[in-house]
Amino acid sequence: MKQEIDFIKFNPTQNMTILVKTYYPVEEYKHIASKIMSYDSVHAEQVGFIEKTVSDKAAAHLQMAGGEFCGNACMSMAAFIASEKKLKQYDMTEVLLEVSGSDKLIKCQVKKNEDEYYCQVTMPIPKKIEQRTIMYEGCNLEIIIVRYHAFIHIVIEVEELSNKVRKKAQSFAKLLGVTLGANMIGILLYQSKTNELTPLIYVPHLDSMIWERGCGSGTASLGAYLAWRKNGEIIAKIKQPGGSITVVAKCHEGDITSLKIEGSVGIVAQGKAYLEV
């Protein structure tokens, strides 16, 4: 027996994202997400579900499969709403979203370009940013901890991206997934000389670990750290394997006061998927 699922597939900086339009109970999200993400199905890095809103101010409710917050999925949801509105070329619209992992509505501005949408998302503000030196695998490891309501990002500055560095990041993410109880763990490997970010995202609930080609929430966390370090405003185009995402962040007296990301989203497929129950 197979389930029929209505879906839309998006390309935000090659962080391939599927949004499911068909209603299913929350307890089925994990199964559906793991199936539809797989190589022999629609294939993507993450899955969100479009639900009914609680607030009458929100245009949609986006629930990620692992309960995490995702900036690129917010961009994708906003782009879909703009496409449903039949937004004309170079016109702009603004939408508010309810999103898992955030207790506040997320504001998105969307502009229709030739064959894609350019989105700006007002991101959740970190609860705390701190710098620590920890002992890990017999070595001192300098890390930046960016804490949110339901997830955590770790920024680690690296000189190069060797297999050893990647494996160390993966084992560190697994360890944090066990010890912290967060919905999502992000290990953000940052090469400051070239302004390059290589994001590893681990969702313990789904046991999903992916080296993402572009990470919106990771870009925001890196921008928050850079503004916090400067204790001022930064605007940075962060290069990632799938392209660049721009972050705009402001810090005043040690507190992040504003955090936004900007990037392009393409709608690459829409239709039905058939999954084994």
Catalytic residues, which ones? 70, 215
Would you state the structure tokens that stand for residue 182, as one six-digit string?
Answer: 């967060």
Query: CA 117 to CA 18: how far, in whole Å?
Result: 16
How many CB atoms lie under 10 A from the CB of residue 205? Answer: 17
**What is the dihedral angle through the alpha carbons of 57, 152, 167, 44, rounded to the nearest 10 degrees?**
-10
Query: CA 181 to CA 204: how far, in whole Å?
Result: 8
Q: Count of residues for the chain?
A: 277
Which of 179, 271, 232, 208 is closest to 29 using CA atoms? 208
User: To which residue do tokens 């389930």 refer?
Assistant: 3
Would you state the structure tokens that stand for residue 243, as one six-digit string?
Answer: 């392209």
Sign of dihedral through CA atoms 250, 231, 146, 153?
positive
User: What is the DSSP annotation of 227-241?
Assistant: HHHHTSEEEEEEEET
Would you state the structure tokens that stand for residue 92, as one six-digit string?
Answer: 């702009």
